[in-house]
Amino acid sequence: MSVMNARSSAPARSAGRPPSLGGNVSAWSNRHRKWLFAAPAMIFVGVLIVFPLVWTLYLSLTDSQGSVRAATDFIGLQNYLTVLSDTERFWPAVGRTMTFTGVALVCEVVLGMGIALLLWRPFRGEKWVRVAILLPLVATPVAVGMMWRLIFDPNIGFANQLLGMIGIPPQPWLSGQDTALGTTIFMDVWQWTPMVVLILLAGLTSLSDEPDEAARVDGANSFQRFFYITLPLMMPTVIVAILLRGIDALKTFDILYATKGKGGGSFNEVETLNVYAYGLSFDYNQYGLSSAVLILFFMIIIGSMWLLTMRKKAVSK
């Protein structure tokens, strides 16, 4: 590298002869190589992340509707005021987003921890068990939604037939105003717990055995060993799992859309922020309002990520 630098920083070394074009290009690229290597990634980020974000921010400050190409007026924060004072659709959607994410996360982490502990120690047939547990993970969420929708159909679904066999009356599942959100949470837990298992299992297998053995020698029972040894040591991994899964759960769209369609059902019973913003854009063509919702949503995600990262730092110390 230093050789190259020496060459490129002395372009006028040779007496009188102007450097060739090729020499110029290579000299230029040498001087700027750190930028050149980063350029593809920067362009990618610029095109696919920064530009859409800035554009959304701009749209959220205009009264854009009907067509993005139609003339718009700059209306400042009016959209944000409209959205934040909307107690009919926006705030309930925030509530549902939080409920969905919170309940799904707790179930997934608790279940995931349990399953990971079961798989931690080698046993016969563990290969098959692992494959079986990972199956939901490889299915497409939309297909998963369709599948459960058939199973939970109130009239011809398998779930109610099964309940009928053991004498329980049929349940409305996805079609009930009060049960729909719970049912979609169940689907999310069914599909994504395996991912949490994977992360936690990786964390478990990297723990050293000594503290656990020392505690065993001191006569600690398995509960004490888990709560006082394993769990504290696992905390950073648990937070990573919560972080990854949490961001995904906040943004869930496919399962909800595949099971309840636009608007999250006739009573908006599973309308989360993402589904709401989608409806504002694609169904109502109110791009300004929709962008405002998305920007607020983006802030919520960034905020929750920041809180969790802070927590992780505190735990890791």
Partner 1 sequence: MKRRSVVKYAAVAAALSLGLTACTGGGGSSDAKESGTVRVTLANHVWTEGIKAAIPEFEKSSGLKVELTQLGEDQLSDQYNVKLNAGSDEIDVMMYRPLQEGKAFAKNGYLADLTDKVSSDSTWDWKDYQEGPVKATTADGKVVGVPIITEREVLYYRKDLLQAAGLEVPKTMEELEAAAKAIKASNPDTAGFVARTGKSAAVTQFSSFLYSFGGDFTDSSGKSSVNSDAAKKAYAYYGGLIKNYGPANVSTDMSWPEAMAIFTQGKAAFYTEADSLYKNATDPAKSKVADTVGFAPLPAGPAGSKPYNIPSWGLAVNEASSNQDNAWKFIQWATSKDRTLAAQKAGVPGPRSSVWSNAEGTSTYPKDLADAIAVSAKNGVGHDRPEVVTVGKAREIVGEPIVASITGADASAAADSAHDAFQKFLDSEKK
Which CB, 222 or 266, lies closer to partner 1?
Answer: 266
Give the nearest distance from C-beta 117 to partner 1 in angstroms: 39
**Residue in 28, 227, 228, 284 binding partner 1, rule: CB under 8 A:** 284
Site for partner 1 in 225-264 (CB under 8 A): 260-263
Which CB, 196 or 258, lies closer to partner 1?
Answer: 258
142-164 in b/e burial notation, b at 16+ Cβ within 10 A?
eebbeebbebbbeeebebbeeee
What are the helix (H) ranges across 61-179? Answer: 78-84, 90-120, 126-138, 141-151, 158-165
Site for partner 1 in 139-168 (CB under 8 A): 153-156, 160
Give the nearest distance from C-beta 92 to partner 1 in angstroms: 15
Q: Is 67 in the site for partner 1 (CB under 8 A)?
A: yes
Q: Is 70 in the site for partner 1 (CB under 8 A)?
A: yes
Query: Given the structure tokens 């299915």, which residue do they identify?
Result: 139
269 CB neighbour count, 10 Å cutoff? 21
Which CB, 112 or 265, lies closer to partner 1?
Answer: 265
Give the nearest distance from C-beta 51 to partner 1 in angstroms: 6
List CB contacts of 287: < 8 A, sequence separation 6 or more.
59, 64, 65, 68, 280, 281
Which CB, 55 or 306, lies closer to partner 1?
Answer: 55
Give the nearest distance from C-beta 208 to partner 1 in angstroms: 44
Per-residue contact flags (x/-) with partner 1 for residues 168 to 197, judged by CB under 8 A? --xxx-xx-x--------------------
304 CB neighbour count, 10 Å cutoff? 17
Q: What is the CA radius of gyration of the chain?
A: 27
Q: What is the DSSP letter of 156?
A: T
Stretch that binds partner 1, among 20-28, 66-74, 127-135, 199-207 (CB under 8 A): 66-74
Question: Taking each helix axis from N to C terminus, what angle separates 287-316 and 51-60, rounded to the nearest 10 degrees?
Answer: 120
- Cα separations (Å) of 61 from 254, 263, 298? 28, 24, 15
**Which residues lie near partner 1 (CB under 8 A)?**
35, 39, 42-43, 46-47, 50-51, 66-70, 153-156, 160, 170-172, 174-175, 177, 260-263, 265-267, 281-285
